[in-house]
Structure 1
Amino acid sequence: MKFMIIFWAVYILFFCIPFPIFIYMMTSEGTGEPRNSLAVSYGYLGFSLIIWGYILVYFTNILFIKTFKEKNTIQSILRNGTPREAKIMNYKLLKYIPESNINVIQIILSFANLRNVQIEQEMMFHDIKPQEKRFDEGNTVKVLLNPNTSESPYFILAGQQTQFNSSGMVLRLIFLVLMIAYVAGLYYYFYTTESYDFGWRFLTFMHPIIFSGVMILIFVLIFQFILGKFFKNKKDEQLLFTGRNAEAHIISVTQTGLTVNDQPQIMFQVSFKDFRGTEHIAVYKKIVSLLKLSSIPIHGTIEIMYDENQPAKIMIPKGI
């Protein structure tokens, strides 16, 4: 896993940093004449500043601001969280770290959500006291639910401690400093070597000052698109913690034609009554494993969870 992360990081960096510069050096005519009018050149300059500004703000947010926000959220949950008793339904040892006698474990907890609906949720963390066997299957632990479900995490273990990984934070800081140095170096180097007293009139779209930023921006947008799919799953998780449950009648179950890693997306159309007795019809789409296709119910009833303020928002929490 680490090898693949390093490989893709190097691959992306190659196409974002040395590749645009290499292409420019190979194709540049090296003329001392201005390549654009003053207005066009300042347009390109402004465009490049917008791109690099967005990229630097994005990385600052991802690497630092979100981390500090998440820590503050956890501290807020420790102070104001809604307590629940949770039963451990499943325990799985993922990794043992002998140097520090720590287990990396994955457990499935069963507890009541903010609407007192029983739910199950998976959790992975480091068990620093494995000898106490606190998280064996069948045991109970205390959890705290986040009252503000617009922020994650939605729950934590009572007494959970948070601290920054100092080496990880240093690496993040080094990366951001190198990124800023790279951007500043681009502007300084090419301005001093290509301006020829004409200012920024050497800029073109394929110039490394612009094209390098465009390449990085493309990868950032791709990452945000992938992250958007992840946040879609987060919305389901949010509904899991705030929703009410209901028994829904299955109207239809069809394939949408979309597949992800050869796994089909299934669309469920159901009807149900909310806690006020009002009937609703809603649609829910979900990627389903090929191994589970034969077990998907196509008629009868199914348990769902819905948003009491927007009943059209539903999810199917179990069994599929």
Structure 2
Amino acid sequence: MKFSNGFNIFWIIYFLFFAIGLPLILHYAGDHHQSDFEMTNTSVSKAFILLGVGTALWFIVFIYYIKKFLVNLALKKNGTIVLNVVGLLLLIALAAGILFYAYINESRGYGWRYLYFWHPYIFIPGSFIFYSVLFFDITKSLFSKFKANP
């Protein structure tokens, strides 16, 4: 394995931990659930706006993933396309799983009012977008100057 491949794998795992793992750990291990008082004082319109924001962010992540990993690889004819499709399906399952699990365990009969801005359903795709732009786009443009072109 080349050094650059190992380096890329390290950064992808690092990125996934901070984009997905850390928000889940902080939310569920830190017991940052909304109390009954907070949920009764949250308006239905705010809850649906947060649900819409989270869903829109997840769709942006899906589109970015498809553009970055599926379309580009299909043009290069790399067949690793199966692994990338599995990755996309896992990403979709993560989004649906977080929403389903949180609704069952956190709503306590208040509907979507358990959502708040720092909830993992909203924070994970936001951090995913932030880290994707930071790690993959900005650093790629910065270090492309130093990469030797044959």
TM-score normalised by the shorter chain: which range applies? 0.7 to 0.9
The residue type paired with residue 28 of structure 1 is H
Residue in structure 2 matched with residue 165 of structure 1 by the alignment: 78
Superposed CA offset, 1:151-190 (max 9, x none):
xxxxxxxxxxxxx333x11111111111111111011100
Q: 2:68 aligns with which of 59, 62, 68?
A: 62
Write the distance in 2 (CA, Å) between the matches of 1:29 and 1:57.
30
**8 Å Cα contact 2:34/2:114 also seen in 1:** no
How big is the shift at 1:30? 5.6
Map of 2:51 onto structure 1: 45
TM-score, normalised to structure 2, is 0.80
Q: Deviations over 1:92-119 (max 9, x none)?
A: xxxxxxxxxxxxxxxxxxxxxxxxxxxx
Larger helix proportion, structure 1 or 2? 2
Question: 2:112 corresponds to which residue?
Answer: 200
Q: Is the 8 A contact 2:58 2:95 kept in 1?
A: yes
Distance 2:108 2:137 in 1: 39
Give the Å deviation of 1:54: 0.6
Matched residue type, 2:123? F
Native 8 Å contact 1:63 1:172 kept in 2: yes
What is the root-mean-square deviation of aligned Cα atoms in Å? 2.3
What letter is aligned with 1:6?
I
In structure 2, the residue matched to 1:188 is 100
- Partner residue, 1:179: 91
- Answer 1 or 2: higher relative contact order, Cα 8 Å, separation at least 6: 2
For structure 1, the 5+ residue unaligned runs are: 72-163, 230-259, 262-286, 289-320
Counterpart of 2:113 in 1: which secondary structure? coil
For residues 220 and 208 of structure 1, the distance between their equivalents in structure 2, rounded to whole angstroms, comes to: 17
**In proportion to residue count, which structure has more strand?**
1
Identity of aligned residues (%): 28
Which residue of 2 is the match for residue 3 of structure 1?
6
**2:126 counterpart of 1:219:** no
Matches within 5 A, 1:38-187: 38-68=44-74, 70=75, 164-166=77-79, 168-187=80-99
- State the distance in 2 between where 1:29 and 1:49 align: 20
- CA displacement, residues 49-104 of structure 1 (integer Å, 9 cap, x when unaligned): 11100110111122222334x36xxxxxxxxxxxxxxxxxxxxxxxxxxxxxxxxx
With the length of structure 1 as denominator, give the TM-score of the two structures: 0.40
Q: Partners in 1 of 2:71 and 2:11 — Cα distance?
A: 24
Q: Secondary structure at the match of 1:17?
A: helix
Contact 1:32/1:194, CA 8 A, preserved across alignment: no
Aligned residues: 138
Higher Cα radius of gyration = 1
